[in-house]
Structure 1
Amino acid sequence: MNAAPSVGIADGATFDVVIVGGGSAGCVLASRLSEDPSTSVLLIEAGEDMPPGQVDPDILSSFPLATFRGDRWLWPGLRVRPAAGRASVPYEQGRVLGGGSTVNAQAANRGLPRDYDDWCASGLVGWGWDDVLPYFRKLERDLDFGGPLHGDAGPVPVRRIPPAQWNGFSLALRKAYLNAGFEELHDQNGEFGDGFFSPAISNEDDHRVTAAMAYLDANVRRRKNLQILTGHRVDRIAFDDRVATSVQVSFEARPVFSVRGRRFVLTAGALHTPALLLRSGVGPAEELLPLGAQMVANVPAIGRRLQDHPGIALCQYLPRGLRAPAPPVRASLLGLRYSSGFDAGEDSDMYVASSGRAAWHAMGARLATYFLWCNRPYARGQVRLASMDPNVAPEVDLNLLGDERDAMRMADGVHRLAGIAQSMPFAHLEGAMPLALSPRAKALSRITPSNAALARVAATVVDAAGRLRPLLLRHAVNGGWSIRELLTCSETMQKFLRAQTFSMWHVSGTCKMGHPDSPDTVADAHGKVVALANVWVADASVIPTLPSANTNLPVLMVAEKISDGLRKMATS
């Protein structure tokens, strides 16, 4: 860790609330709980801070470039196994104040009312659509829509890019979607059927707005009862019986020190929050005892029920007139929700995000991309510890496509997307091609002068290749996979899906909220860990089932709702 601390905290210092993790949820909790001047709040974040006026230009960019500048804002050494039979791969999770909202695609997608009504029906009383809508409205300042479904005074600006600003590829895709029978929607967060739309984004004046920018502005930071400690990692929680007493904090060469608290709120994300509980002796005893853990509570459900949206990518070569301009202009302008028809009652179970530019460099300008994912996956993964040492990253098994129903819908989606790509007016150049997110492609995505030069050469060769272009692209961008073979051979399709399906970076569910009597429940409807006296979880870990959405806005909503409950409890 090389980020300097924001403030100095003495060993043994005591706070009313200690918040562990300064990602999207942690920023919400720190802001809302410190609104009460009688409550002292400490927010601890392992990554660096970028105070108002000092936000890096790469973070502010509308084009999501942050993760291509190296690992400065990412957790080091974090890896996941995407699916059975595959090796682990690096996992890009934000380690910076603002967390995922600082490095993600800025999607401000709520999901659908049925997602939250399902939460309530499963036993999570108080989390139906009518219950969570006020918190979605509270967090947002919608720049395009008003009325009962939208907020106008929240800290997070939400907008959509109008068709007048779409690039040529997006306009062509709009026609293709209409010809395929899809309805055009104007408000992704207010029209809940199938259709295509300009996705809502957390962006204003063509600049990203992170959770840190939205919730921890200069006025909030001036509160005397709020302290923000960055560049420090929480290694474990100390307990007296099942009452948390302190967290053990490390920073570079400084000896580990303790910070005491009356209440502890964990917002370290769906991978690090369960790992912290496990290292603290809270979790499945049969896994922790062999590692030498001192057990505090045997909670078998911690780390289980991990969910993520399984994704696959296709690409398509673009003629000159339809190429998107260079960053920082945003290239992702169309989203599509549709129903696969495989599951009765599971409408809008699939999603497609399209982009008129595959990457920042010249070669990226030649390719449009389609990212397909399953909105309602059945497969579940797990987070477990390899060691009690906090320097050792947790073991993460995403188990993508671990349920055959997910694989069937993804295969069907590839067929549908290929058909839509083939209907594009420039499909005679090349139709859809599988896009393999290979280590070579990731290496080229790093923003360096040498990569820029290499991409320019590759782009020139591809433009001039003529009839050889399909062969060049097949080996340059998709690892040799043939779309024709995928579409005509179900065995090849399944091999492709098993080899190339990737995480959409929407991990959740590892400390599930639910009815206290349910064996898979970790936290109750207020976010409090059932087995512990004074520990809450308020991040993606508590999400019972994935919403039909990118997870940042749902996580902000969860944090808003849990913080509201904590404030009411403190004043009762």
Structure 2
Amino acid sequence: MLIGELGAFGSLIYTFLSRIAANLSQVPYSLEATQYEFKLPRLSIQDGATFDFIVVGAGSAGAVVASRLSELPECRVLLLEAGAEPPLLSVVPGLLALLARSEYDWNYFTVNDGYSSQGQIGGSIPYNRGKMIGGSSSNNYMMYVRGNPEDYNSWADAGFEGWDWDTVLPYFKKSENLQVSDVMQNRTLTDYHNTRGPLKVSRPEHERTQETKLEALLQSLSEIGIETLEDYNGPEQLGASKNYFTISNDRVPIRYGTAQAYIVPAKKRKNLVILKNALATKILIDSTKTAIGVEVEVNGKRNTFYASKEVIASAGAVDTPKLLVASGVGAAADLAALGIDVVSDLPVGKDLQDHLFIPVVLSGATDIGTALPVVDLRTIGFPTLNGFFALNGTGRPDLQIIPFYMDMASPFFAFACANTFNFNDDICSSLINANQKSELFAILLVLLHPKSRGEIKIRSLNSAPEIYTGYFSNAEDFDTVTAGIRRILNLTKTEYFKGFNSEVARAILPACDGLEYLSDEYWECYALQTGTTLYHPAGTCAMGRVVDAELKVLGVDRLRVVDASVFPSMPSGNTNAPTIMVAERASDLIKEQYYGNQNIVTVQ
């Protein structure tokens, strides 16, 4: 969207972007040097070349698998990525909002179903997916959340051996380089963390006034039963604390996606070939139903590369289904509609799961004056917390809360409402007007275990996948969300919020006008209108339906899927860290199968 198209919000957004530009010269970064680390060696690969493994997609999973396999000198790996190196917008944490709908994004939009998310511009959600080395780990909001032990125990209980919590925890630790001294000095927490892995994790500090707001918010959450935690990635997840991010805590804080963590250290290995701007269009499967290679478009030319051991699809929960369908792996009816012969009849693209969130915005103090704060490029641009609660008070969380604080008359809020969250003019104008009168506390309420399901449909191999979210297609999700909203509204009764007579910032929602304001029916309507994605698609090639417990595609030899599409159910939180964990474990499964377990190194 162009600034000029934002109407009344244009000047505020222009001010915000101008502030960013004005502060680039003040960043304590050697930006050119930082970007240079991502420059890949120039190479020339002959059409028809053979490797041991071909990994399709250099994102949160593929970069990990390629890096780990290439640790073995005898293992020759080709890593294919449709995009290029991450730009500076990716490296600097505070610029991440400018990556959406750029050349580094696949620029997908969901299909307007005429039912859910009608508060989005055009009823269609921008479904940001990273198109660069690091994939979506290079354009996400960098939140590091592992989930709940019961998430993974439920996978094992469903028959997927080796995915229980005790087995996967060492793989979370294997990837982690925690740079939070308070946590590592706490003896009850050290067994849950590692300081020697490739993925740097930290808790960036905010400006002191903002830190004070977060501390007050933590106290208020504790008053409504969401207790303050030191570490939601430790022995207890229920509660709230300051956020973990995949941002380095070094002199120069930078994003630590899988590009920085896994590719930079590995890119000069002679047995790892990384081919950028290379779009894989088809996996080659022979008459014995064995994957033997990949067709790839590079600079407008079709090339074929062969794998002597395996092809590993790591294109993500949206694009891996398209690649499999193009290769004859999918539901027979879907393949027939495309004129593709069936290799393996599997429900590829079905049962899309996603974390949707509903914004609950509360007013704050009104006597602080307006503010145009300098954008702190070392953080994600705004101060935030992370919390989890179960409706029955115990066990695995049902809902996640991501509260963040906005200064009064915040230009960032104007930008985020229309650009990042894609809400329509009615919603944005009403919330921006509220922000003109007071500071705001925007609480994103995340439905962690939705019963609703969507689908990735492939209508044509020459067009983008069609994304049907399926939000609220199961009415039970309304009950969970409404109960969660009721819990959050209790914040207005806490000591801190009562001090300035906090109330809900009312959004303009014509579809809900006939309902009693703040009734359960109103909140159901509100959730249906405003519910949108946290960009966590998963489950479209799930274990037990498309792949087995070792992530091998059912009915096809030497073909494996390693990305969030294999999740049989959703973890309780952001999906980047679990995806990296899956890739770490998959790498060991592959090493053990082909090279023996003497090459496996885990952190206990």
TM-score, L = length of structure 1: 0.83
**Range 6-15 or range 238-247, more displaced:** 6-15
> Is 1:158 paired with 2:212?
no
Per the alignment, do residues 381 and 363 of structure 1 end up closer, same or farther by CA in structure 2, a change over 3 Å counting? Answer: closer
Please list, as runs of the form range in 1=range in 2, the aligned pairs for 1:13-52 lying within 5 A after superposition: 13-50=49-86
Partner of 1:172: 216
How far is the alpha carbon of 1:530 from its aligned partner? 1.8
Distance across 2 between alignment mates of 1:116 and 1:81? 33
How far the C-alpha of 1:367 sits from its partner, in A, is: 3.8
Deviation track 1:90-125 (CA, whole Å, cap 9, x = no partner) reads 311111111111111111100011111111001111
**Paired position in structure 1 for 2:302:** 256
Within 5 Å, which residues of 2 pair with 1:163-202? 166-202=210-246
The aligned residue for residue 336 of structure 2 is 289
Are residue 386 (structure 1) and residue 455 (structure 2) matched?
Answer: no
Deviations 1:434-461 (A, max 9, x none): 5xxxxxxxxxxxxxxxxxxxxxxxxxxx
1:369 aligns to what?
Answer: 442
* Preserved contact between residue 125 and residue 533 of structure 2 (Cα < 8 Å): no
Contact 1:234 1:248 survives alignment (8 Å): yes
Change (3 A) 1:363 1:131: same
Q: In the aligned structure 2, how far is the partner of 1:564 from the partner of 1:14?
A: 22
Residue 421 (structure 1) shift: 4.2
The answer as to whether partners of 2:317 and 2:540 remain within 8 angstroms in 1 is yes
**Letter in structure 1 aligned against 2:547:** A
In the alignment, the residues of structure 1 paired with residue 114 and residue 311 of structure 2 have an alpha-carbon distance, to the nearest angstrom, of 34
Contact 2:491 2:497 in 1 (8 A): no
CA distance in 2, matches of 1:195, 1:345: 11
- The corresponding residue for 2:321 is 274
Unaligned runs of 5+ in 1: 435-473, 515-520
Distance 1:45 1:163 in 2: 35
Aligned: 1:499 with 2:571: no
Q: Separation in 2 of the partners of 1:425 and 1:345?
A: 26
Deviation at 1:25, TM superposition (A): 0.5
CA distance in 2, matches of 1:16, 1:7: 18
CA offset digits 1:457-507 (Å, max 9, x no partner): xxxxxxxxxxxxxxxxx45xx77978994422x333222222221111111
User: Structure 1's 66 and 493: CA in aligned 2 closer, same or farther, altered over 3 A?
Assistant: closer
Identity %: 31
Asked if 1:123 is matched to 2:159, the reply is yes
Give the counterpart of 1:553 among 573, 577, 583. Answer: 577
Report the AA paired with residue 560 of structure 2.
Answer: W
Offset at residue 233 of structure 1 (A)? 0.8
On the 8 A contact 1:156/1:209 being kept in 2, the answer is yes
Task: Name the aligned partner's letter for residue 234 of structure 2.
Answer: G
Cα distance, 1:556 vs. partner?
A: 0.2
Matched letter for residue 465 of structure 2:
P
Aligned to 1:233: 279
AA in 2 matched with 1:353: I
More displaced stretch, 140-149 vs 368-377: 140-149
Aligned to 2:8: none
Task: Please tell me whether residue 298 in structure 1 is matched to residue 345 in structure 2.
Answer: yes
For 2:391 and 2:114, how far apart are their aligned partners in 1?
A: 22
- Give the structure 2 partner of residue 104 of structure 1: 140
Q: Specify the alignment match of 1:395 in structure 2.
A: 466
Aligned partners of 1:534, 1:90: CA distance in 2, in Å?
Answer: 35
Unaligned runs of 5+ in 2: 1-38, 185-189, 416-434, 597-604
Matched to 2:224, the amino acid is A
Instruction: Give the 3-state SS of the residue equivalent to 2:94 in structure 1.
Output: coil
Quick one: which of 316, 328, 338 aligns to 2:389? 338
1:168 is displaced (CA, Å) by 3.7
Residues 282 and 84 of structure 1: CA distance in aligned 2, closer, same or farther (over 3 Å): farther
Return the match for 2:126 from 86, 90, 94. 90
Listed one character per residue, the Cα deviations across residues 527-550 of structure 1 (whole Å, up to 9, x for unaligned) are 111211011111001111100010
Instruction: Decide whether the 8 Å contact of 1:340 with 1:347 is kept in 2.
Output: no
CA contact (8 A) 1:83 1:397 kept: no
In structure 1, the partner of 2:175 is 139
What is the number of equivalent residue pairs in this alignment?
A: 510
| In structure 2, C-alpha distance between the alignment counterparts of 1:325 and 1:336, rounded to whole Å | 27
- Whether contact under 8 Å (2:512, 2:525) holds in the other structure is no
Report matched runs for 1:336-485 at 5 Å: 336-341=387-392, 347-357=396-406, 361=412, 363=414, 366-387=439-460, 389=461, 391-421=462-492, 423=494, 424-425=496-497, 428=500, 431-433=503-505, 474-475=507-508, 485=516
Shift of the alpha carbon at 1:167?
A: 2.8
Contact 1:6 1:49 in 2 (8 A): no
Deviation at 1:429, TM superposition (A): 6.5
Contact map agreement 2:539 2:564 (CA 8 A) in 1: yes
How big is the shift at 1:212?
0.5
User: Is the CA contact 2:226–2:239 (under 8 Å) kept in the aligned structure 1?
Assistant: yes
Distance 1:131 1:77, change over 3 A: closer
Cα contact 2:150–2:396 (8 A) shared by 1: no
Query: Cα 1:211–1:82, aligned 2, differ >3 Å: closer, same or farther?
Result: farther
Q: Name which of structure 1's ranges 109-118 and 375-384 shifts more when overlaid on structure 2.
A: 375-384
- Indicate conservation of the 8 Å contact 1:64/1:103, yes or no: no
Match of 1:451 in 2: none
What does residue 420 of structure 2 align with? none
Root mean square deviation of aligned Cα: 2.8
Structure 1 residue 66: deviation in Å? Answer: 4.0
Residue 194 of structure 1 contacts residue 348 of structure 1 at CA under 8 Å; is this kept in 2? Answer: yes
Distance 1:347 1:380 in 2: 20
Q: Note if 1:243 corresponds to 2:290.
A: yes
User: Which position in structure 2 is the counterpart of 1:62?
Assistant: 93
Check the 8 A contact 2:133/2:259 in 1, yes or no.
yes
Q: Deviation string for 1:265-291 (max 9, x for gaps)?
A: 011000100111011111110121022
User: What are the superposed Cα offsets for residues 42-87 of structure 1, whole Å, 9 maximum, x if unpaired?
Assistant: 111111114xxxx51x223333624456412100344345784665
Render the CA deviation track for 1:309-349: whole Å, top value 9, x for unaligned.
Answer: 121112234443797753324424311211123xx976411
SS at match of 2:463: coil
